[in-house]
Structure 1
């Protein structure tokens, strides 16, 4: 039987390595011609994560856990390195030492995802797999903020003449901001395992909102790919945000399954 740590590790690396590679591409597209050094660094990270993806193809669910742990450590170092690069870019931007087409919130957003990825690899190498109630809230809080950010980016990157779509994106932004605040409130209450119904409701509510946003992203992606709406949104960015919404739904499924098991 496959080791669940191995299976989860390979799944995390498969998903997040592609995300990290795309982050490097999106940042590079936002730099100006004068910022060739930052573009070159971004390209280096594209190469790093492409090599990780190639190496990943040699692993399987039956791979020895020690080999996977060593690979986790290798990928962890790459995730930390790209996090450091993103934070450097954010610092340069906030100090007005560079001016780019990358929103500061977007740079912060992608750095949070790099930190999340690195932390997941660290936890897996520590043997931490089964979620705890407080972890459920924190994980959802992280992804709710990601979804709220996505809605804001979409709203700002759509052409202002796309009034209906801009309004929809702004509505999603507001809705997910409210879910973030609600998750923060619940986190401070620190519900324990005996309050599982509260967590059930929490996950159910998040699922409904994420499904709606996922469907909106899917429609937007299709319209962008068909050149049927006006925007500055790269087709790959549209697909990127769609995949992250899908990932959030998978994680909600994971936690719901854990809660069901805990009640048995």
Structure 2
């Protein structure tokens, strides 16, 4: 069995996950437009087709595909991500200028989907240019991004559940508050850089976030299953429920990967020197970890 090139494996993993997300965004936006918004509906359908094709292409590549082929594919996908980002920003502008009265797309939801498109296109550019963040920066940046995504999800769920589902609405609001607090903490750590680049701080940061993301992931799974079984009242599309669940799963995978890399750093730092004076020093620029940013 050939060992996949790290660049190829990472690129295809990002594209397979995020192209599906972009495709589903197109559907959700379309469902939120008014009947008379035929041009916007056509554009959403166009992007659905673009990202469906990209998703299929990404899954069709063999494990030993030439890295140059994937480099060119990344450029193609980055362009598509840039175009859907521009479409989403256009839609956001129309909503905020009250030109789509009666539509069902929350401004925050449209902004949320555009942030994910921007994240996706930036990641592909970073991969192609080989400029991924050092581990400490990667940990902080990814958590700032995903904690805000999780907080948004909780807000959307609380607003799309039927108001009579009081207990579930309260739970969703509770998650919104919790993730807002975690996001504030992450931004505090962000502004303390590079002094906050220490293994103990980052390890605790990841531990705390993982516990909260697991709780939210489990809540999303339960909500998804109840929606699919038609057991609760809401206007949440079953695919949207699954969509938010998958993004929480993705965040947990990223946290687990970061914790694995931090363990390697801790192990490496303890072997050459045991004196306490060296413990907890910064880990910026650790050799071999620049390509492990998630």
Query: What range describes the TM-score normalised by the shorter chain of this pair?
Result: over 0.9
Tell me, yes or no, if the aligned pair for 2:165 and 2:233 is still in contact at 8 Å. Answer: yes
Match of 1:232 among 217, 232, 235: 235
Aligned-partner Cα distance in 1 for 2:194–2:201: 8
- Evaluate the alpha carbon distance shift between residue 163 and residue 190 of structure 1 in structure 2; reply closer, same or farther with a 3 A threshold: same
CA shift digits 1:45-72 (9 cap, x unpaired): 0010111122113213311110000000
Aligned-partner Cα distance in 2 for 1:129–1:84: 24
- Evaluate the alpha carbon distance shift between residue 194 and residue 113 of structure 1 in structure 2; reply closer, same or farther with a 3 A threshold: closer
Q: Which residue of 1 aligns with 2:38?
A: 36
Aligned-partner Cα distance in 1 for 2:133–2:178: 30
Aligned-partner Cα distance in 1 for 2:157–2:222: 12
Aligned-partner Cα distance in 1 for 2:57–2:254: 25
- Say whether residues 1:244 and 2:247 are aligned partners: yes
TM-score, structure 2 as length reference: 0.87
Q: Which residue of 2 aligns with 1:64?
A: 66
Q: Which residue of 2 aligns with 1:98?
A: 100
Q: Which residue of 2 aligns with 1:83?
A: 85
Tell me, yes or no, if the aligned pair for 1:210 and 1:249 is still in contact at 8 Å. Answer: yes
Instruction: State the SS of the aligned residue for 2:62.
Output: coil
Aligned-partner Cα distance in 2 for 1:257–1:127: 22
CA shift digits 1:12-52 (9 cap, x unpaired): 00000000000000000000011010000000000101111
Residue 103 of structure 1, CA deviation: 0.3
- Say whether residues 1:46 and 2:48 are aligned partners: yes
- Say whether residues 1:169 and 2:166 are aligned partners: no
Match of 1:118 among 115, 118, 121: 121
Whichever of the two has the greater Rg, that structure is 2
Instruction: State the SS of the aligned residue for 1:57.
Output: helix
Q: Which moved more, 1:200-209 or 1:131-140?
A: 131-140
CA shift digits 1:130-178 (9 cap, x unpaired): 6421221011010000000000000000000000000000000000000
Aligned-partner Cα distance in 1 for 2:239–2:206: 29
Structure 2: 5+ residue stretches without partners: 269-294
Aligned-partner Cα distance in 1 for 2:95–2:205: 36
Tell me, yes or no, if the aligned pair for 1:5 and 1:129 is still in contact at 8 Å. Answer: no
Aligned-partner Cα distance in 1 for 2:115–2:208: 24
Instruction: State the SS of the aligned residue for 1:97.
Output: coil
Aligned-partner Cα distance in 2 for 1:130–1:2: 22
Residue 260 of structure 1, CA deviation: 1.5
Going by fraction, where is helix more abundant, 1 or 2? 1
Aligned-partner Cα distance in 2 for 1:218–1:135: 27
Tell me, yes or no, if the aligned pair for 2:136 and 2:197 is still in contact at 8 Å. Answer: no
Count matched residues: 264
Q: Which moved more, 1:201-210 or 1:254-263?
A: 254-263
Aligned-partner Cα distance in 1 for 2:119–2:257: 17
Tell me, yes or no, if the aligned pair for 2:165 and 2:232 is still in contact at 8 Å. Answer: yes
